[in-house]
Amino acid sequence: MASTSTSGLLIPKPLRLGKFAIETPVVLAPMAGITNSAFRRLCREQGAGLFVSEMVTARALLERHPETLRMITPGPGESPRSVQLYAVDANIAGAAAKMLGSEGLVDHIDLNFGCPVPKVTRKGGGSALPYKHRLFGAIVESVVNAAAPFDIPVTVKMRKGIDDEHLTFLRAGRIAAECGVAWVALHARTAAQMYGGKADWQAIADLVAELAPMGVPVLGNGDIWSAADAIAMMTQTNCDGVVVGRGCLGRPWLFRELAAALNGREIEVAPELFGVSETMYRHAELLVEYFEDEFRACRDFRKHVAWYLKGFSVRNSIRVALAQVSSLAELRNLLDQLDGAQSFPTLIGEGPRGRSTSTRPVALPEGWLNNPDEIPFVNSDEAYSGG
């Protein structure tokens, strides 16, 4: 856990991840459609930490879907190579972990038990799955055992539970710890909250207290929009590190700020619009390398434009054109038209970003809440008939 110096500064300990030491205990949260190797590389260039791939399904991995294999391919110099795995069946999960290990494809596996989107939860996956605690334990144990011969550490990311009436994080945390995971990361919201409301940092503190006697670190996730937020979370909850998701959208330099803050260094002033525009162009270049298709890369980049420019004064015609950009040359021309001397709009730019939704019922398989002790049948979409 973190400690404080005589001057009162937070001094985080490195996170142990098998043979790796994550000196700055900051993890990039896997985000669908966002954390491809291009974005991970952009964030790695800004500061230390661990950068995890987009979630991939165990079944698609075993069937060697080309896009899934592309998603787990690391960027140049990426280490440790981290992949987030999703499964609803222990045998499939274990087989996928064995494949990743035997073919030397990863250095770290993170298990997704936190995704709240309906297409995942209605199949009993993501944040719905820990409610079936025996199934949860079987999946975690299967992956830990399959990864062990290859010295691949396994971690778990989860939410508080399905909703306020069906909280699972304390029991799931204990199960994961007993299975031998390297750490547990908690997004301090329920699935019903999606990405809205306020994250319950007290739940992180409760999980820290629960797992501390077992020697298993806890990472906190939720409402980290600035370096000050990370310091506050670690101070208030005594967690061992933080997981950053939406806070870095349009702000990859947040990792540089976090590294400085957590190591007692002065935080650099946020970039002016010129610096932001150069980061935007670098991001697009990396996407072209990743997709090997300039138009596809620029089309993917479009969703990042509003996040990068949030709070800046930019002519509407340029905003619209940037949201329709189709080539690097076009992007360069538009960025050169911006007033680069504008200071970073801290009050707006360091505020919430990305998806935000109100609490709503969670889509679940029929009868899912009837018996938490049962191990349900494997969802047909996750079935795998291979060896």
- Alpha-carbon separation of residue 359 from 60, 146, 246, 356, 366 (angstroms): 31, 37, 18, 10, 20
Residue type present at position 90: A
pLDDT tens per residue, range 205-220:
999 999 999 999 999 9
Q: Is residue 333 pLDDT above 90, yes or no? A: yes
pLDDT band at 386; cut points 50, 70, 90: very low
Residue 387 pLDDT: 31
Residue 379 pLDDT: 54
* Bridge partners (DSSP) listed for residue 155: 110
**How do 15-17 and 82-86 pair as beta strands?**
unpaired
pLDDT band at 347; cut points 50, 70, 90: confident
Which segment of 285-289, 324-328, 360-364 scores lowest on mean pLDDT?
A: 360-364
Longest dimension (CA), the chain: 61
pLDDT tens per residue, range 181-210:
999 999 999 999 999 999 999 999 999 999
- Alpha-carbon separation of residue 32 from 56, 57, 149 (angstroms): 9, 12, 29
One of 43, 115, 179, 298 is an active-site residue; which one? 115
280 CB-near residues (< 8 Å, 6+ apart): 301, 304, 305, 308, 331, 335
Q: Is residue 380 pLDDT above 50, yes or no? A: no
Q: Is residue 321 pLDDT above 50, yes or no? A: yes
Residue 268 pLDDT: 87
Asked if residues 142 and 94 have their Cβ atoms less than 8 Å apart, the reply is yes
Sign of CA dihedral 219, 222, 223, 224: positive
Residue 264 pLDDT: 84
For the question of residue 115 being annotated catalytic, the response is yes
pLDDT band at 356; cut points 50, 70, 90: low
CA distance 21 to 7: 25
Q: Is residue 384 pLDDT above 90, yes or no? A: no
Helix (H) or strand (E) holding 265: none
pLDDT, the chain, mean? 91
306 CB-near residues (< 8 Å, 6+ apart): 250, 319, 323
Q: Is residue 82 pLDDT above 90, yes or no? A: yes
Mean per-residue pLDDT, 264-275: 90
Tokens of 209: 């207290």
Tokens of 59: 């079944």
CA distance 194 to 357: 6
Q: Which residue has the higher pLDDT, 351 or 69?
A: 69
Helix (H) or strand (E) holding 277: helix 273-291
CA distance 349 to 108: 32
Residue 5 pLDDT: 40
The pTM (predicted TM-score) of the whole model is 0.91
CA distance 45 to 28: 13
Share of the chain above pLDDT 90, in %: 84
Residue 9 pLDDT: 54
Sign of CA dihedral 20, 26, 28, 29: positive
Residue 378 pLDDT: 52
pLDDT band at 353; cut points 50, 70, 90: low
CA distance 256 to 258: 5
pLDDT tens per residue, range 104-130:
999 999 999 999 999 999 999 999 999
3-state secondary structure 319-333: HHHHCCCCCHHHHHH
Task: Report CA dihedral (25, 28, 29, 30) to the nearest 10 degrees.
Answer: -140
